[in-house]
Structure 1
Amino acid sequence: MMAKLMNTTTNQTLIADLEVASTFLSRGKGLLGRENLPSHQALWIHHCNSIHTFFMKFAIDCVFVDKNLKVRAIRKDVQPWRLILPVWGAASVIEMAAGTVSKVNVSVGDQLYVGA
């Protein structure tokens, strides 16, 4: 399923092509096996408050959100072979290409929205 990620706090579209990983298999695979992630794409992993980048080939930015899609934490430029410990209050994570968070100007406390 592809969707659009918007920041209702700043009234701006953050990601034009948001891929949703909601099944056990898609959540487990995440971005593994990909060579890169274009800046207009991201992966939203449901039921996830911590991530790892073991076996990944590129760095990512991670935006952890609560069940209402309010930004709880941001981790920028997470390199391969790293582990991000659980983020208190986070219900899911949106993984973007490294550098994307700074370009789209998203901050902790911002309210996000996923739509068509």
Structure 2
Amino acid sequence: MGQTLTIKTIPYSIKIADSFFTRFKGLMFRKDPLMTEGLWIIPCNSIHMCFMHFAIDAVFLNKEGRIVKIIEGIKPWQFVKPIKNAYSVIELPIGTIRWLGLKLGEVIKL
């Protein structure tokens, strides 16, 4: 019997950071915390929270959009080491992972 494929959507406006500058800048220096939006950084397999003013949730995806790592409540000045098999990351408002019940292996559709 095969594994059930669960597809989740994120009910926020998601901006894409896919150029050198937008990936480098990310959410640095932003004063207001994320509320109903997120940032999808492509490609990306690790993040840092330098010059951040608020905590976030992070969902790392492989090339197929499958969740390979979830990290809740990353605080300013913390670092996330490279995640094996991660191709991109979605940075979301703190509490989103729990609110949406996101789990490893689920596919995110944006």
* TM-score (normalised: structure 1): 0.85
* Candidates 60, 63, 70, aligned match of 1:64: 60
Q: Aligned residue for 2:92?
A: 96
TM-superposed deviation, 1:52? 0.2
Secondary structure at the aligned position of 1:15 is classed as coil
Corresponding residue of 1:54: 50
Task: Give the match for residue 16 of structure 2.
Answer: 20
Q: Take 2:11 and 2:20, find their aligned partners in 1: how far apart are those partners?
A: 23
Aligned residue in 2 for 1:77: 73
SS at 2:21's partner residue?
helix
1:31 pairs, out of 13, 27, 46, with 27
Q: CA deviation at 1:31?
A: 0.5
2:82 maps to: 86
- List alignment gaps of at least 5 residues for structure 1: 1-7
> Structure 1 residues 110 and 59, CA, compared in 2 at 3 Å: closer, same or farther?
same
Structure 2's unaligned 5+ residue stretches are: none
* RMSD (Å), alpha carbons: 1.3
Q: Give 1:97 deviation, angstroms.
A: 1.2
The percentage of counterpart residues that share the same residue type is 37
Q: 1:4 aligns to what? A: none
- Structure 1 residue 13: Cα displacement: 3.3
Q: How many residues align?
A: 105
Maintained 8 Å contact 1:15/1:42:
no
Structure whose CA Rg is larger? 2
Amino acid aligned to 1:66: N
